[in-house]
């Protein structure tokens, strides 16, 4: 699966990040070294406080590492952000209440200066992609939480970024909606060939979605295991009952437990 002929899309070398807080320094990331190749679907999994969000935010240039190097598309994260290299989906949908769903999806397009005609066409296309076509003119409060989250994903897909960073986008949703969104996300990933970084707390979700699973552990936040998934790219939901799937899930669980035993 991995394309070894091209440079990695995201490359972190010995990354450290320490937050100075009121009650002493917090070592959120310690010696994080990771390469993510183009077109990979990478999940970050680990207990609360292990630095998953922090790592994603470092990639997005929302947080500055204390030491180490990181490149995104071969540039500094800041240059990549300026070049609008990624779309970011936050844990909460964070739609603007004064904009309709279409208006929210259009927001990045307005900021990035797409033409009016292009904006309308793209909004229509991505709303279709997340199955919200009929809701373009509704306001966020008229939608369920899951629909709002889909709208926020559409917002991140509307412009041409080939990296998609998602921080527990389905964390607050029930199992059934989640399964459905997972399927849709895989289909979308297959169609768009984006590189995806995905934070989750759910082992099945991580195994089902990813080509690479990064297991992390807290205090200090670090990577304890990186699992390259042998599962095929095309994955029906039933694949979750296959022996391969169960085996990877087992390995992830072991990795998480080992991280806990270190405490």
Partner 1 sequence: MRNVLPVLTVTACLIALWYAAVVPMNQQWAQDQARRAGQDLSFSALVADTMSQQRPRLPAPHQVAQELWNSTVVEEMTGRRGFMNTGSLSNRSLIYHGWVTLSATLLGFAIGSALGIALAVGIVHNRAMDASVMPWAIASQTIPILAIAPMIIVVLNAVGITGLIPKAIISTYLSFFPVVVGMVKGLRAPDQMQLDLMKTYSASGGQVFAKLRWPSAMPYLFASLKVAIAAALVGAIVAELPTGAVAGLGARLLSGSYYGQTVQIWSALFAAAILAASMVALIGLIQRVTLKRMGMAA
Ligand X SMILES: Nc1ncnc2c1ncn2[C@@H]1O[C@H](COP(=O)(O)OP(=O)(O)OP(=O)(O)O)[C@@H](O)[C@H]1O
Q: For partner 1, give the closer residue by CB, 51 or 255.
A: 51
CB distance 129 to 157 below 8 Å: yes
Q: How far apart are CA 119 and CA 125, in angstroms?
A: 10
Task: Pick the stretch among 50-58, 133-141, 211-219, 232-240 that binds Mg ion (CB under 5 A).
Answer: 50-58
**Residues numbered 222-261 forming contacts with partner 1, rule: CB under 8 A:** none
Q: For partner 1, give the closer residue by CB, 111 or 187.
A: 111
Beta strand 163-167 with 24-36: parallel, antiparallel or unpaired? unpaired
Nearest of 136, 185, 162, 198 to residue 84 by alpha carbon: 162
Q: Does 43 bind Mg ion (CB under 5 A)?
A: no
Q: Does 55 bind partner 1 (CB under 8 A)?
A: no
Beta bridge partners of 44: 199, 214
Q: Does 112 bind partner 1 (CB under 8 A)?
A: yes
Query: What does the per-residue mask of binding to ligand X show for 25-54, with x meaning CB under 6 A?
Result: -x-x-------------------xxxxxxx
Nearest approach in angstroms of CB 219 to ligand X is: 7
Q: Does 100 bind partner 1 (CB under 8 A)?
A: yes
Q: For ligand X, give the closer residue by CB, 44 or 114.
A: 44
Q: For Mg ion, give the closer residue by CB, 53 or 195.
A: 53
Binding-site member from 21, 24, 113, 141 for ligand X (CB under 6 A): 21
Q: For partner 1, give the closer residue by CB, 107 or 226.
A: 107
Binding-site member from 26, 68, 139, 171 for partner 1 (CB under 8 A): 139
What secondary structure letter does DSSP report for 239? Answer: G
Q: Does 148 bind ligand X (CB under 6 A)?
A: no
Element (DSSP H or E) covering residue 50 = none
What is the CB neighbour count within 10 angstroms for residue 115? 9
Binding-site member from 98, 236, 243, 263 for partner 1 (CB under 8 A): 98
Q: What strands, in cross-sheet order, belong to the sheet with 222-228?
A: 86-89, 163-167, 195-200, 41-45, 212-217, 222-228
Binding-site member from 14, 75, 82, 258 for partner 1 (CB under 8 A): 82
Beta strand 10-21 with 195-200: parallel, antiparallel or unpaired? unpaired
Beta bridge partners of 21: 24
Count the residues in the chain: 263
Nearest approach in angstroms of CB 202 to ligand X is: 11
Cis peptide bond N-terminal to 179, omega within 30? no
Q: Exposed, middle or buried by CB within 10 Å (0-12, 13-18, 19+), for 243? A: exposed
**Which residue has tokens 């998953």?**
52
CB distance 106 to 119 below 8 Å: yes
Number of residues that bind partner 1 (CB under 8 A): 24
Residues that bind partner 1 (CB under 8 A): 60-62, 81-82, 84, 86-88, 90, 92, 94, 96-100, 107-108, 110-112, 139, 141
Which residues contribute to the site for ligand X (CB under 6 A)?
Answer: 19, 21, 26, 28, 48-54, 221
Which positions touch Mg ion (CB under 5 A)? 53
């Amino acid at each position: 699966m991995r394309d070894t002929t091209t440079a990695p899309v995201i490359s972190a070398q010995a990354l450290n990040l320490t937050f100075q807080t009121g009650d002493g320094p917090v070592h959120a990331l310690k010696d994080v070294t990771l390469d993510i190749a183009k077109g990979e679907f990478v999940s970050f999994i680990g207990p609360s406080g292990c630095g998953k969000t922090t790592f994603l935010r470092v990639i997005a240039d929302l947080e500055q590492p204390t030491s180490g190097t990181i490149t995104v598309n071969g540039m500094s994260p800041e240059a990549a952000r300026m070049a609008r290299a990624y779309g970011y989906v936050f844990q909460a949908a964070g739609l603007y209440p004064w904009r309709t769903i279409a208006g929210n999806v259009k927001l990045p397009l307005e900021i990035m200066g797409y033409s009016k005609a292009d904006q309308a066409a793209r909004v229509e296309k991505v709303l279709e992609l997340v199955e919200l076509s009929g809701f373009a003119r509704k306001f966020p409060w008229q939608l369920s939480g899951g629909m709002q989250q889909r709208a926020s994903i559409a917002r991140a897909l509307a412009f041409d970024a080939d990296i998609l960073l998602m921080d527990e986008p389905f964390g607050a949703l029930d199992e059934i909606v989640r399964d459905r969104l997972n399927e849709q996300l895989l289909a979308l990933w297959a169609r768009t060939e984006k590189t995806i970084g995905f934070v989750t707390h759910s082992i099945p979700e991580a195994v089902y979605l990813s080509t690479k699973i990064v297991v992390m552990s807290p205090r200090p936040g670090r990577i304890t295991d990186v699992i390259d998934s042998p599962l095929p790219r095309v994955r029906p939901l039933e694949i979750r009952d296959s022996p391969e799937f169960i085996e990877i899930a087992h390995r992830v669980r072991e990795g998480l437990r080992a991280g806990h035993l270190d405490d």
